[in-house]
Structure 1
């Protein structure tokens, strides 16, 4: 297993995996990923098994505490010194799910955010995944204002410091 940061050379593999994992109305496009990779490659981790990309996680940093739909669409909102690490997606190829691959990436992403002295990590997810993310210490903050892909999303937060006190590390 190899976990590493993404480069533009990974663009085709990333876009293909996204199409495997999300319906068209929710999936980022190849052009979306190109712009993300140009803007915040240090916040884009890939997991390879036997040379094949099987999972990835990405998101940018911002001082805004809540994840908004505009963030998905505008990578230029990234602020390398931002307080919060957002997660826009964690994708695992269907043939490699339920094997701990997403958890390994999530752990690496959380550790990286802590090392970078962020206040925490924020994501949105469907109701069915609330229990999964809570295992990492994320707290459900209720239904988000996001209407990305025409889906109902819950916002979850893992705060490293402060009143939420939900850090498991």
Structure 2
């Protein structure tokens, strides 16, 4: 497996993996990924098997302490010198799940945020994934303000 950050050339594969991992109402579009990649491609951690993208973690950096729906839609909110690494998606295509790939990428994102001097990372997740993210040190802060995709999300934070 190869891990690297993204480039605009990866947008098709990123959008395809996202579509496999999230319902349409929750999935980012190819156009949204193009915007994100143009502003913070170094905050996309990709895992490949050969030429095939099998898993990725992505998000922006900001001084805002809480993840908001506007962040998903407005890539210009990224601040490379921001205090918090937001995580928008942890994606692994179904046939590659349960092998630790997403965890490996999440650990890479955590380590990058730590070495970059961030305060920590913030993500939102559904109830069934709270225990998963807790294994990485994320603490559940309760129901998020986010209503992305008309879903109830829990905000979780890992503070260094």
TM-score tier after normalising by the smaller chain length: over 0.9
In the alignment of these two chains, the number of paired residues is 160
Q: Give the TM-score normalised by structure 2.
A: 0.99
Q: Structure 1 residue 49: deviation in Å?
A: 1.3
Aligned position for 1:134:
134
1:154 aligns with 2:154: yes
Counterpart CA distance in 2 for 1:91 and 1:137 is 19
Q: Structure 1 residue 51: deviation in Å?
A: 2.3
Consecutive unaligned residues of structure 2, counting only runs of 5 or more, are none
Q: Structure 1 residue 24: deviation in Å?
A: 0.3
Aligned position for 1:165:
none
- Please tell me the root mean square deviation across aligned C-alpha atoms, in Å: 0.5
Counterpart CA distance in 2 for 1:97 and 1:141 is 26
Q: Deviations over 1:70-111 (max 9, x none)?
A: 000001000000000000001000000000000000000000
Counterpart CA distance in 1 for 2:146 and 2:8 is 28
**SS state at 1:10 partner:** helix
Runs of 4+ in 1 over 3 A off after TM superposition: none
Aligned position for 2:61:
61
Consecutive unaligned residues of structure 1, counting only runs of 5 or more, are 161-169
Counterpart CA distance in 2 for 1:145 and 1:8 is 30
Q: Give the TM-score normalised by structure 1.
A: 0.94
Counterpart CA distance in 1 for 2:19 and 2:107 is 24
Counterpart CA distance in 2 for 1:37 and 1:90 is 16
Counterpart CA distance in 2 for 1:128 and 1:153 is 10
Counterpart CA distance in 2 for 1:16 and 1:101 is 17
Where do 1:158-169 residues align within 5 Å? 158-160=158-160
